[in-house]
Structure 1
Amino acid sequence: MARRCELTGKGVMTGNNVSHALNRTRRRFLPNLCDVTLLSEALDRPVKLRVSAAALRTVEHRGGLDAFLMKAKDVELSDRALGIKKEIRAALAS
C-alpha cells in the first residue's frame, strides 16, 4: 500500500538525520495517514479513505467531503477519489 494521501497527494519525503557532530544519514519523513470513513451528503453513504491528518482538518474546514472534492484539483486526487468526485457531480446534477 502506497504511503500517499488519497485527497491531497501528500507522500513520503526524504532528508537527513544530522547528529551533533554534523554526521548526516538519510531518513524518511512519513505522512500522518489515517484510515477514516467520511459521510458523503450527496451520495447518502459513507466513503472509506486513507487521508493525512492535515487533509482531514481541511475537509472539516471546507464543510465536508463533497465540498472538499468539488474544490480539489483532479491532479492531486487518487483514482478512488476521482471516482467518488464523479459520482458526487452526477448526483448533484440530477
Structure 2
Amino acid sequence: MSRRCELTGKGPMVGNNSSHANNKTKRRYLPNLNDVTLQSETLGRGIKLRITAAALRSVDHRGGLDRFLAKAKDTELSDRVLKVKKEIAKAQAANA
C-alpha cells in the first residue's frame, strides 16, 4: 500500500534531521494518512479511502465528497477515485 493520499496526491517528502551540532542526516516526512469511509449523497453509499487529515478537512469545507470530486483535478486523484467520480457524474446526469 503506497503512502499517498487518494484525493490530493500528497506523498512522502525528503528533508534533513539537524542535530544540536548542526549535523545533517536524511529523513522522510510522511503524510498523515487516515482510513476513512466517506458517504456519497448521489450514490447513496460509503466509499472507503486512505486520505490525509488535510484532505478530510477540505472535503468537509467543500460540503461533502460529491462536491469535492466535482472540483478536483483528475491528475491528483487515484485511479479508484476517478472511477467513483465518473459514477457520481453519471448518476447526477441521469437524475437531472
Q: For this structure pair, what is the TM-score category when the shorter chain's length is used for normalisation?
A: over 0.9
Listed one character per residue, the Cα deviations across residues 35-71 of structure 1 (whole Å, up to 9, x for unaligned) are 0000000000000000000000000000000000000
> TM-score under structure 2 normalisation?
0.97
Q: Percent identity over the alignment?
A: 70
Aligned length: 94
Q: Report what 2:25 is aligned to.
A: 25
> TM-score under structure 1 normalisation?
0.99
* Structure 1 segments of 4+ aligned residues over 4 angstroms from their partners: none
Q: Report what 2:6 is aligned to.
A: 6
Q: The residue matched to 1:28 in structure 2 has which SS?
A: strand
Q: The residue matched to 2:15 in structure 1 has which SS?
A: strand
Q: Report what 1:50 is aligned to.
A: 50
Structure 1 stretches of 5 or more lacking a match? none
RMSD: 0.3
Offset at residue 20 of structure 1 (A) = 1.1
The whole-number CA distance in structure 1 between the counterparts of 2:69 and 2:50 is 14
Q: Report what 1:79 is aligned to.
A: 79
Task: Spell out the pairing of 1:55-70 with structure 2 (5 A cutoff).
Answer: 55-70=55-70
